[in-house]
Structure 1
Amino acid sequence: MKNILKNIILPLTVILFAVSCHDDLDQSPIDPDSFTEEDVFANAEEAKSALAKVYASLALTGQEGPAGQPDLSNIDEGFSQFTRMLFNLNELTTDNAVVAWGDAGLQDLHGMYWTASNDFTDAMYNRLAQTVSFANSFIENASNLSDAVVTEYIAEARFIRAYSYYNLIDLYGDVPLVTQIATTLPSQSTRQEVFNFIESELLDIQNSLASSGSNEYGRVDEVAAWALLSKLYLNAEVWTETSRYNEAVTYSEAVISSSYSINTTDVNGNGSAYDELFLADNDTNGAQNEFIFTANFDGLNSQTYGGSTFLVHAAIGGSMDASAYGVNGGWAGNRTTSALVNKMGSGDSRAMFYTDGQSLEISDITSFTDGYAITKFSNLTSQGVQGVDASGNFADTDLPLIRLAEIYLNYAEATLRGGGGSSTTAVSLINELRERAYGDTSGNITEADLTLDFVLDERARELYWEGQRRTDLVRYNYFTTNSYLWPFKGNSANGTSVSDFRNLFPIPSNTLLSNPNLTQNTGY
């Protein structure tokens, strides 16, 4: 799919998705109509091109590259990109990140005092709504084709729709469940109803998707369905009040037994194979064997001010040399807190921090030099070559949305929560990750070390800045409570608890005004 993005995504960003489909979750997109449905869905080859737009809805933001003709109105286009919003809502609200910038509503996120009119929570809701819209339109139009391969394309679109709904119920709780193009205002479904839909969809499409590892890079296969089921069942107790840890173990085992593997190839010879996961050639350097579902980027052909461009540039400031990360300058925004730094053991190569001129503790969030900088994401290849954009503006680095290491940790947590897995296997899986991190067995653990809190901390060490942290803290009942505090949690320097209604974000105020069928989440 990265090749598809390079070759066709710019012309295909103007393909037709009927105006009515944009009302699916009641957002305010800009209609990208240009081609006719007959042009786009004339045959299987054209339908494959249209499928690229569904994938691209999680990577790009509009019709003209980084800015111009945005898919969503009423917000800066770069701000609204999906993985950038995933960072803002699932990382910036936690112990993993702070930001120096003063854009309206942005500091509210780490301080945990956002309102129902927050631009960033609004943007994520609308972005996911539009992805559902694009998927629904593709599924309806492609269903008119009889080619056998189109069944696989439709299954992929259904996966992306299920993934979008996974994020919607994680972030917002009760949301409209819309699976067909409609002109009427949707009603609100319960979190349980949407959970059931996601589950049934993934179970239904698993046999229609490509077999493990057989699809083009960037396109999902059957393992992606199993991996998303693993994630879904791990969160079931929080989202539905019914635990499903046995199923979480079962589908984690299916993923672990598949053709995907943990990357252990240290191409750049720096002593660790972890950093290869986040370099500009991570689609070819061995990391791709660990990636189950990705958001793909190309510095020339799929430009955005979100994605890896955001993660690389925004983490550079102070005395950092931007060229050492393959870009032309830093935006001096994102850093981390001492809570994450202190979780890293000596010798753990995942501790990718820049400390020169950076203080460990934060006294002023708006000062980039307060807090260690993160060097995890880079626009250099494994050979140290800058990405394809010679200007250094836009990054090539793909972002894993689901990778095998996460599923290892899902297995361990679900096992500890009573899911029927093997603690011996869980320890072995975690040690596989830690041996990559340490370069040897010096960081290995025993079964006596395997506790739920250890797994949570290991998730922080392995997955920080990958859009997971808030979801994990909510599952552990640590996100809003005083059971776990971090710097400036609750807008307090030492951290404080906040009301538990903040385990969910608000339904956007504008959405409520335009659709009387919807009810706001408690507390907003």
Structure 2
Amino acid sequence: MKKMKRIISIIMTACLFVTWSCTDLDETIYREIIAENYYQNEDEIRAAMMRPFVQNTQSISGFLKNVWILQELSADIVCFPQKGPHGYDGGDWIRFHRREYTTDERRCYNSWDQLYAGIGYVNSLLADFEKLDFAALGVTSFTKEQSVAELRSLRAYFYWILLDLFGNVPITTTITENSPASKPRSEVFAFVEQELTESIPYLSEDVVKSQGRISKWGAYAILAYLYLNAEVYTGTPQLTKCIAACDAINASGKFSIDTEWYTPFCKANETASRENIFTAACDPIYAPDNTWFQRFGHYSHQGGFGFKYATWNSTVTTPGFYSKFDPTDKRGYVGHLYGPQYKVNKYNPDHSFDFDKSKPLLGTEEFKGFPLIMAEREVILKAVTDGPGIKVESVSHPEFTEEDLAPVFTFIETDPTLIATLQNLISINGGVEYEFKLSEDYLGERNMDRGAENIGARSVKYEIDFDATTAGLTNDWVIFRLSRINFIKAEALMRQNGNVATDEVCDLINAVKERSYDEGTFIPYTPATLTMDELLLEMGREFAYEGWRRVDLVRFDKFVKDYEWWDYTPNGKEYDNIFPIPHRRLNNNPNLTPNEANAHRSAT
């Protein structure tokens, strides 16, 4: 993987020098570059191959990329509410959460453009490679067939995302075709299936050498997920094929479920995790695209955690979802920051924090100067005068006790500024007592357009590097891991069995879930307790924020009906299971066919 990241750095550095070449007035200018002359050795071919994978990292697969926005911010686990004057951003996030988007959403046309740009890079390279003699160029580390198979598999991955998001889309495999026509969704599905099945025999089985690219097992993972969603895409289930693809990965013996729930997301996950199958390589300098905690972190986390970069207080766990974690589930209470926030002393090996509870972090906006408490429901404290000082007498909150908030009480009762503020408020209130809120009642209102600075839990799923000088993490972005394969196979088996779990299904899910619980607290699923609804819920807990929640909700028929979350009420409109093809792309290409969503959505 280090070599892979070095290649990325070479590509990015080379791009920087393109503009400088114009200053050399004596250089020879050629009308076009001939592939046979441009590629001179193995390193140049390898570097060229990485261009579409860099496109995948920078623009497609990753946190808060446009595709991620469509797949996650339209669903039930994560949102980006406006907080006072911050985060409106043209209303983009509000429209996606509430399902009020138009046919001209920039997140939609950016996703469309970036996916087809990646396809264009692949098509261009395939045309070049067709003319090359790899052996004559001294290529020994990989074959021409393997290179072509990797590129075709990546292109299939891009087309799978397109057919999932937009339905009927054009298929083009050359760089010369102008204004290609739309193809039915079932035909795009068949194309993706064929590309993958034809490529798999030539792909590398070496997990280490293929990290950040696509190995045989990465292609099988894409294929398994494609087959799991086949009924959505084509009307015909392909569950037997789905199970076979999962079995091929398991039979390889290359992967295992990591002992700890957080290992797939740790700083050195390219070497530490035995679970990850297909990842996008990230690097703080050359591919700084995993900016996880910069987005989830509150403004005060920058100083409280000692970061050298700003935290933006943007994305949050959708109110109502955090409470779906069991109190002993480490994916919940360790994987999120919730409740009172404090200065961090150190980051522990088990992914938890050692907090200095004598130093609470403070709000900076509507709760400026007061202790910062991340919450989903209102936290009401009652203060009374205590001679010359202030006494916090009680707390009202369904999750936090007085013991939980004791450090907060101490801070309020000893901070001179807050003492003066509360004494004044008590005086105005009749000189007896004063109830004040340290959050808002989010669950009972529609608040995407008027959230507060401390709304919702904040995810720390990807390990934080406290020594980092930039927001971009070194942790590679996880696309598919063995846990997902367990869930895919389990769901396929359940659907084959009339949506009823079996012992085998329970074993697959329990093998993933057990590691997340405190010792002695794990209660395994049984065929009686693992229903389809519970499977979807557990899927959300395990794969929260990983980029595919909308896909799962659509497959369970919960995206537009029978499932309500925070600021969204199901509308029952099946056309919302896909996004409208961008209006401006329809205008640019007369051969594009609008999909059903276009017929019901306007351009404004």
Give the TM-score of the pair, scaled to structure 2.
0.72
Q: Does 1:246 align with 2:240?
A: yes
Instruction: Assess if the C-alpha contact under 8 Å between 1:322 and 1:330 holds in 2.
Output: no
Aligned residue for 1:90? 71
Aligned residue for 1:414? 492
Q: Does 1:9 align with 2:11?
A: yes
Unpaired segments ≥5 residues, structure 1: 17-32, 62-78, 266-272, 490-494
Give the CA deviation at 1:92: 0.8
Instruction: State which of 105, 126, 129 in structure 2 corresponds to 1:139.
Output: 126
Give the CA deviation at 1:326: 5.7
Aligned residue for 2:301? 320
- Distance in 1 separating the partners of 2:536 and 2:117: 32
When residues 392 and 240 of structure 1 are mapped into structure 2, their CA distance, relative to the original with a 3 A threshold, is: same
Residue 174 of structure 2 aligns to which amino acid in structure 1?
Answer: Q
Select between 347-356 and 242-251 the one with higher mean Cα deviation.
347-356
Aligned residue for 1:129? 116
Residue 11 of structure 1 aligns to which amino acid in structure 2?
Answer: T
Residue-pair matches, total:
465
Residue 490 of structure 2 aligns to which amino acid in structure 1?
Answer: A
Give the CA deviation at 1:145: 2.1
- Distance in 2 separating the partners of 1:15 and 1:157: 26
When residues 465 and 39 of structure 1 are mapped into structure 2, their CA distance, relative to the original with a 3 A threshold, is: farther
Q: Does 1:197 align with 2:191?
A: yes
TM alignment of 1:460-479, pairs within 5 A: 460-479=540-559
Residue 558 of structure 2 aligns to which amino acid in structure 1?
Answer: Y
Residue 411 of structure 1 aligns to which amino acid in structure 2?
Answer: K
Q: Secondary structure at the match of 2:182?
A: coil
Aligned residue for 2:515? 436
Give the CA deviation at 1:232: 0.5
Instruction: State which of 60, 83, 88 in structure 2 corresponds to 1:102.
Output: 88
Query: Which whole-Å deviations, capped at 9, do the CAs of 1:76-103 have from their partners, x for residues lacking one?
Result: xxx9978622321111111111103211
Q: Does 1:359 align with 2:375?
A: yes
Instruction: Assess if the C-alpha contact under 8 Å between 2:62 and 2:68 holds in 1.
Output: no
Q: Secondary structure at the match of 1:283?
A: helix
Instruction: Assess if the C-alpha contact under 8 Å between 2:109 and 2:582 holds in 1.
Output: yes
- Distance in 2 separating the partners of 1:15 and 1:174: 39
Instruction: State which of 430, 449, 463 in structure 2 corresponds to 1:378.
Output: 463
- Distance in 2 separating the partners of 1:223 and 1:502: 32
- Distance in 2 separating the partners of 1:456 and 1:164: 25
Give the CA deviation at 1:413: 0.4
Instruction: Assess if the C-alpha contact under 8 Å between 1:293 and 1:403 holds in 2.
Output: yes
Q: Does 1:283 align with 2:261?
A: no
Aligned residue for 2:571? 497
Instruction: Assess if the C-alpha contact under 8 Å between 2:224 and 2:243 holds in 1.
Output: yes
When residues 326 and 294 of structure 1 are mapped into structure 2, their CA distance, relative to the original with a 3 A threshold, is: farther
- Distance in 1 separating the partners of 2:296 and 2:209: 33
Instruction: Assess if the C-alpha contact under 8 Å between 2:207 and 2:254 holds in 1.
Output: yes
- Distance in 1 separating the partners of 2:538 and 2:44: 44
Q: Secondary structure at the match of 1:42?
A: coil
- Distance in 1 separating the partners of 2:477 and 2:162: 20
Aligned residue for 1:369? 454
Aligned residue for 1:396? 474
Q: Does 1:158 align with 2:239?
A: no
Residue 376 of structure 2 aligns to which amino acid in structure 1?
Answer: L
When residues 498 and 39 of structure 1 are mapped into structure 2, their CA distance, relative to the original with a 3 A threshold, is: farther
Q: Secondary structure at the match of 2:171?
A: coil
- Distance in 1 separating the partners of 2:160 and 2:536: 21
When residues 83 and 55 of structure 1 are mapped into structure 2, their CA distance, relative to the original with a 3 A threshold, is: farther
Query: Which whole-Å deviations, capped at 9, do the CAs of 1:318-359 have from their partners, x for residues lacking one?
Result: 543567496622110001123421321121111122122122
When residues 358 and 85 of structure 1 are mapped into structure 2, their CA distance, relative to the original with a 3 A threshold, is: same
Q: Does 1:229 align with 2:223?
A: yes
Query: Which whole-Å deviations, capped at 9, do the CAs of 1:240-293 have from their partners, x for residues lacking one?
Result: 00011111111111112223434435xxxxxxx222322322122x22x21111
Aligned residue for 2:54? 56
> Which one has the bigger strand percentage?
2
When residues 14 and 155 of structure 1 are mapped into structure 2, their CA distance, relative to the original with a 3 A threshold, is: farther
Give the CA deviation at 1:419: 7.0
Aligned residue for 2:169? 175
When residues 2 and 143 of structure 1 are mapped into structure 2, their CA distance, relative to the original with a 3 A threshold, is: farther
Point out 4+ residue stretches in structure 1 off by more than 6 angstroms. 33-36, 79-82, 419-422
Residue 354 of structure 1 aligns to which amino acid in structure 2?
Answer: L
Aligned residue for 2:21? none
- Distance in 2 separating the partners of 1:431 and 1:392: 38
Residue 506 of structure 1 aligns to which amino acid in structure 2?
Answer: P
Instruction: Assess if the C-alpha contact under 8 Å between 2:277 and 2:482 holds in 1.
Output: yes
- Distance in 2 separating the partners of 1:375 and 1:517: 45
Q: Secondary structure at the match of 2:56?
A: coil
Instruction: Assess if the C-alpha contact under 8 Å between 1:480 and 1:498 holds in 2.
Output: yes
Query: Which whole-Å deviations, capped at 9, do the CAs of 1:99-120 have from their partners, x for residues lacking one?
Result: 0321122321111101111111
Aligned residue for 2:253? 259
When residues 300 and 322 of structure 1 are mapped into structure 2, their CA distance, relative to the original with a 3 A threshold, is: farther
Select between 420-429 and 148-157 the one with higher mean Cα deviation.
420-429
When residues 335 and 214 of structure 1 are mapped into structure 2, their CA distance, relative to the original with a 3 A threshold, is: closer
- Distance in 1 separating the partners of 2:13 and 2:321: 42
Aligned residue for 2:386? none
Residue 51 of structure 2 aligns to which amino acid in structure 1?
Answer: K
Q: Secondary structure at the match of 1:292?
A: strand
Instruction: State which of 315, 322, 338 in structure 2 corresponds to 1:341.
Output: 322
- Distance in 2 separating the partners of 1:315 and 1:339: 17
- Distance in 2 separating the partners of 1:462 and 1:436: 11
Aligned residue for 1:294? 279
Residue 429 of structure 1 aligns to which amino acid in structure 2?
Answer: L
Select between 319-328 and 444-453 the one with higher mean Cα deviation.
319-328
When residues 46 and 336 of structure 1 are mapped into structure 2, their CA distance, relative to the original with a 3 A threshold, is: same
When residues 205 and 95 of structure 1 are mapped into structure 2, their CA distance, relative to the original with a 3 A threshold, is: same
Give the TM-score of the pair, scaled to structure 1.
0.83
When residues 254 and 212 of structure 1 are mapped into structure 2, their CA distance, relative to the original with a 3 A threshold, is: farther
Residue 42 of structure 1 aligns to which amino acid in structure 2?
Answer: Q
If you compute each CA radius of gyration, which structure gives the higher value, 1 or 2? 2
Instruction: Assess if the C-alpha contact under 8 Å between 1:80 and 1:124 holds in 2.
Output: no
- Distance in 1 separating the partners of 2:13 and 2:497: 47
- Distance in 2 separating the partners of 1:257 and 1:422: 23
Instruction: Assess if the C-alpha contact under 8 Å between 1:173 and 1:190 holds in 2.
Output: yes
Query: CA RMSD, aligned part only?
Result: 2.6
Unpaired segments ≥5 residues, structure 2: 19-30, 82-86, 135-141, 341-372, 378-441
Aligned residue for 2:529? 449
Identity of aligned residues (%): 28
Query: Which whole-Å deviations, capped at 9, do the CAs of 1:160-211 have from their partners, x for residues lacking one?
Result: 1000011000000000011112242101111111100111111111110012
Q: Does 1:116 align with 2:116?
A: no
- Distance in 2 separating the partners of 1:419 and 1:252: 17
Instruction: Assess if the C-alpha contact under 8 Å between 2:62 and 2:290 holds in 1.
Output: no
Aligned residue for 2:430? none
When residues 327 and 374 of structure 1 are mapped into structure 2, their CA distance, relative to the original with a 3 A threshold, is: farther
- Distance in 1 separating the partners of 2:110 and 2:123: 20
- Distance in 2 separating the partners of 1:479 and 1:227: 23
When residues 369 and 203 of structure 1 are mapped into structure 2, their CA distance, relative to the original with a 3 A threshold, is: same
Query: Which whole-Å deviations, capped at 9, do the CAs of 1:208-250 have from their partners, x for residues lacking one?
Result: 0012525342222111121111100000001100011111111
Residue 487 of structure 1 aligns to which amino acid in structure 2?
Answer: W
Instruction: Assess if the C-alpha contact under 8 Å between 2:501 and 2:527 holds in 1.
Output: no
